[in-house]
Amino acid sequence: MQHLDPLAAYVEDRKGRRVIRKILVANNGMAAVKAIMSMRRWTFVEFGSEQVITFVAMATQDDLNANAEFIRLADSFVEVPSGKNINNYANVDLICKIAQEQKVDAVWPGWGHASENPNLPATLKKMGITFIGPNSTVMAALGDKIAANILAQTAKVPSIPWSGDGLVADLTESGSVPDEVFKMACVETVEDAIERASKIGYPVMVKASEGGGGKGIRKATNEEELKVAFINVKTEVVGSPIFMMQMCSEARHLEVQILGDEYGNTLALNGRDCSTQRRFQKIFEEGPPVIAKPDTFKQMERAAQRLTKLVGYTGAGTVEYLYSAEHDKFYFLELNPRLQVEHPVTEGITGVNLPATQLQVAMGIPLHNVPDIRRFYGLDPTGTDSIDFMTTDYPPITSHVLASRITAENPEDGFKPTSGKINSIRFQSSGDCWGYFSVGLKGGIHEFADSQFGHVFAKGANRNEARKHLLFALKNIDISGDIRHPVDYLLELLETDAFKDNTIDTMWLDKIIAEKLVSPNHGPLEVVFFATVYRAFELVKQRTQAILSSMQKGQLVLLGKSDTDGLVTFPVETVFEGQKFTFQVERSRADTFVFSINGARIQAKVREQPDGSLYVSVGNLSQLIKGQEEALGLRLVMGAATVMIPTVHDASELRSDVNGKVVRYLHDEGTEVKKGEAYIELEAMKMIMALKCGEDGKIFHAKSAGSIVSAGELLATLELKDPSKVQNIETFAGDFSLTCVQSEPEPAPPEEALAALLDGYVSAEPGPALVERLFEQFSSSEMAAESVRGLLEKYLANERPFAASILEKRPYDQVLLELINAGKDEPGKVVGTMVAHNKLAERNAIVLAMLREMVSAEGSGMSCMYVPDVKTDEDMGSAVHTKIIELSEMPGSASMAGDYCGVRYLAQQLLDVVPHASHEERAAEFRRELDNLDEKALSSLAELPGENNGSLDLELMVESLSDADAKRQPRAMHAYIHWLAAPSHVTDVKVLEAPGLVSAAAWTQRYPVKRFEAHDRHGLLLVLPNLSSLDSALSEQLLGSLCASAKADKVPLNMLHIAVGRDAFAAGTDRTLFYNTDEELATHLQHCSEVFARKAELLRTAGVGEICMALPQ
C-alpha cells in the first residue's frame, strides 16, 4: 500500500529525525535559482512530484524590477527592503522574522549574505527552525577564516606564513577558538598591517575573515599599496576581523568538497581546481583537480575530513588549499562553511545533488543513507549499511567538468562590474553542456546585486574534451541588454596555450588582464566599420521615427526634401583610438548601405532581427552585431566580441564608468593628482573600486561621499597641468580596407538599380546610363515590355496623387494630409512615397530616358526587338501603351506638387510616332496592296503601297523582298526601288535572271546635276538569302548592266543596293545577338568589307559609287 506521506516515509526509511516541508530561501540570484531547481529535481525524481516541498523567497524591489528568475521559481515571496544586503539578505533579524511568520521548517542560506553569520543558525535554533548548514558554534570556529587557520595549525595542516603564524588553540566548551588567541591573529590598524607585513614578507594578501566571492580581499606589493588595500578591505566588509597572509606565487587554488552529518560522519566528494581567478574572484572552475598527484590530493581530502570531523561539522563545506605543482606541496587557505557557487562542478563528476543532500542531512539522514552518496561509492542506493568514509575510497572519477561564470563585468576595463537591463539570454543546454541563469526575460542586474548572473558547465571524458564542449557552449550564448559580459574574453582564454596545457596559476589571469595579452580578434578598422553601420542604421530609424511622430500629429514640417533626403544620404562620424573616421553614407536599397571614405566604397546589406540585433552582410562575411549607445560611448557586440567605442570627453572631466555610490575622494579639493593615480573610490556591486586620473592636474570634487552616481556622470574636474599633452583627434587619411572585402561592390542589374532609384534611393551610375544598359540587354519584345511596364508603373504609382492634385488644383498641404490619412495603417509607406516624390527630378530623368529610347526606335521606322511593342491588345490594362497614354496626360504645368511637363511632352511625341496597328497587321495590309497593283501601276508607282494607310515602312519593304510568292517578290522590288530613288524619277525597272536563290533587278533614274539638267543614273538591287552568298552574287553576269553604263558615263554614279533576307545570318541561332553585341556586328561588317575588297576591280568597272546594305532584324 502506498504511503500517504511519501516524504515522511522516506525520512523514516532513511533513519532521519525530522521532516522539512517548507523552506525559506534566504538568498537571491544564482544561489536561490540553483537551490530551488536542485531540490525540486530531487523531489520529482524521488517522489514523482516537484511540489513536495514549498519554497518561500525573499525579494527586494530591485529584484522584482529586474524580473529575477528565483522569484518565478519560488511558490511565494516576501518583499524585503532594497539597498545594501544588510537591509535584506544579510539581515539576520529580518530573515528570522520572515521564517517565523511564514511558518517554515527550515532556512537555506546559500552563499554570501548571511550564510556565514553564526547568529543566523543560533537564532533559528532558539525558534525551533532548522538551519540547512553547520551549527553556530562550528560556523564561528571554522567559518571564520582566522579561526579556521588557527584550527588548521592545531590539526597540523600545513599553513603558509600569515598574521597568526604558530598559533594553536584548545577549543572552548562551546567549540570555539579562545578570544585572546583569535585576536592575536587579527590586524587592527594600518600601522599594525605595515609591521606584520615586514615579518611575513611582501607581497601580502589583506583579507576580511567574513569576506568571500572576491570581496574583502586585496593584494599589496609594497607599503603604499598596503595602506590603500587595508582601508578597502575594511570598507568592503564592514565590521569583519582582518588578517594577512603571504601571497604564494605560482600556486594553484584547489578545493575539497566536504560533507558532514550530525552523527560525526564526514566525507570528501573529490574537489575542484579554481586557479583561474581575477582579483581573487573565480572565473573558471574545474574538477577533478588533475594538476595534483592522486596521492597528494588524497592527503588533502583526508586532512579536510580530519579538520571538519574535529569540530563536528554538518552540511556542505569547502576546504581550500594553495598547491605548488612544482614542489607537490599544499597549504591550508580557508574553510568555507557553506555551499560554493561552483558546487555543480562536483555534482557533474560525482552525480551527487548537493542542495538535495544538504536538505537530507538537515532532516537528520546519515550520509551513508543518502542514495546519491551510496551511488558515488559504488554501493546499492537503497541500502542503509554504514560506510567508514575515512578509510573507504570512492571509485576513480572517469569524467571532467569545466565551468565558466557569466558575470555583468567589463573585461576591457579590468572586469569592472556593470548593471542594467538584460533583454534576453539565449542558451541551449545539451547532454554535455548545461547552465543556470538568475535573470529572466526582460530582467536585469541592479547595483546591489552580485555581478554573477549565470554559470555554464561542460563535461567530457577528459579535460581537453570538456574544454572544447565549453568553448562550443560559450560560442552559442547570446546575451542582449545594457550590461557588459566577458563571454568573448572567456573564449579567448580557453584557447590560450597556458590554459590548454594546464600551466596556469592564481596570478595568471591578473597578469593577462594587466598586460592585455588577450584582446578581441577584430581589427580596429572592422570595429570602426561595424560601429558606423550600427550608427547609420540607427540614424535612419531615429529620423524615420521622428517623421512618423510628426505625421501622427498632423504636422507636415518633416516631409520636405531635405528631411527625406536625409534618410538616403548622410555623413556618419566614428572616433576610435585617437582617429576620426568620416563616412559618406548612401542607401542604394531599403536594406543596403554604401559607405564611402577616402575613395573606398564598401557596400553592406543590413537586416534587423526581432531582438534589435543586425545581420550585416559585407563582402564574404555575414556578421551579427548589436549596439547600445551609453553615456560613455557605443557598446558594440560583434558576434561574441564586445568592444567599447568611447565618447570623446574633455580631458578635464573625470566621469564614472559604473553605476554605484561615492565612498570617498582620495585627494583634497585643489590637490595635485598625477596621471594614472587613483582619485576616488566607488562602491559598485558590493565591491570597492578606485578610479584613476587620465591626466596631471588639480582636482575639484563634483560630488560628495555617499552620492549615488550613474555611468557617465561627472565625478570631478581637473585643472590640467599641461593642456598641450592632451591627445588630439586626427582625421583618418589612410586606405580603409577590410579583409572580408576584396573588391568594389558589383554593380546591380540595371532594372534592379532603376527600381531602387525610382523608390528614391541612390546609385553610383546615373539613371539615364542605366536605362541605356537596360535596353541593350533586352533579347525580346516581351522581356522589354515586362521591364518597361514595371518601371513605368512604379513611377506612376508614386506620382498619381500628386499629378491628380495639380489637375484638380488642390493645395499641396491637402494632398499630403490625404496621403497621411489614407496610409494611417501603414505610415511607413507614406514615408517611402515622400522619399521617392522628393527625388522627382532624378526619377523624371529615368522616365525621359526610357521614352527617348522608344521614340528613337519607333521614329526610325524600325520596331527593333529590344524596344517593347508599345501598342498591344486593348484589353491589357497594364500594357506599355496604357502607361504611355497615362504619362501623356500628366499635368502640363508645374506646381509645388511636381513638374511633369517634360515627361508629358515626350510621351505625347512617342504616341505620335507609334504605328496604330501591330506588325502582323501592317505586313498583311502591305502584301494586299502589292497584290492589288496592276501591271500599269508597276511602271509608274506614283503612290507607294501603304503610303496612305500608314502601313509603309522600311522593315515591311525589306521583308517583302524575300517573299516566297513568285508574283509578289517582283512587285516588292519595284516598290522598294521607287522608294529608294525618291524624289528622283525612275525611268526603267528590269527584273534580271539570277543564279540560285539570289534575286536581282536593275533600274534607271534621272539624277539632277544642275538646274534644269539631269543625267541617267543606274542601279542594281540584289536580294540575298544570307550573307554567305554575297561573294557569288557580285558576279560579272549580274553587274554587267552597270558595267555597260559605266563605260558611257565615265563617272562612278551607279548604285548597288543589297538586301539580305530573313535568314541573313545562317550561322547565328539567336538573331538578337546582332543587335546586342558590338562583336557580332563587327564580325558581319568585317566579312562584307573583305568581300568588297576582293571585288573592288569589278565594282570599279561597274562604276559603283555607292553601296547600301539592308539587314533584317
Rg over alpha carbons for the chain, rounded to the nearest Å, is 46
Strand order in the sheet with 54-60: 76-80, 54-60, 22-25, 106-108, 130-131
3-state secondary structure of 778: coil
Distance CA 640, CA 490 (A): 10
Which of these, 272, 380, 252, lies nearest to 316 by C-alpha position? 272
* Chain centroid to CA 159: 51
CB contact set of 920 (below 8 Å; sequence gap of 6+)? none
Q: Are 955 and 979 in contact (CB under 8 A)?
A: no
Helix (H) or strand (E) holding 602, with range, is strand 600-608
Please check whether residue 251 is in contact with residue 506, taking contact to mean a CB–CB distance below 8 angstroms. Answer: yes
Specify the residue for cell string 563571454: 487
Alpha carbon distance 195, 181 (integer Å): 19
Q: How far apart are CA 404 and CA 456, in angstroms?
A: 5
Task: Give the number of C-alpha atoms closer than 13 A to the C-alpha of residue 328, restricted to the C-beta side.
Answer: 9
Nearest residue to 153 (alpha-carbon basis) of 174, 195, 184: 184
Q: What is the DSSP string of 964-1029?
A: S-TTHHHHHHHHHHHHHHTTSPEEEEEEEP-STT-EEEEEEEEEEEETTEEEEEEEEEEEESSGGG
Terminus-to-terminus CA distance in the chain, angstroms? 99
- Judged on CB neighbours under 10 Å (0-12, 13-18, 19+), 547 is buried
In a 13 Å sphere around the CA of 187, the CA atoms on its Cβ side amount to 32
E-assigned strand segments in 351-428: 400-407, 409-410, 416-417, 420-426
- Chain position carrying cell 561573294: 1031
Catalytic residue list: 338
Find out whether 870 and 862 touch, Cβ atoms under 8 Å.
Answer: no
* Of 202, 278, 187, 266, the residue nearest 233 (C-alpha): 187
Q: Is 273 helix (H, G, I), strand (E, B) or coil?
A: strand
Q: Which residues contact 1089 (CB under 8 A, 6 or more apart)?
A: none
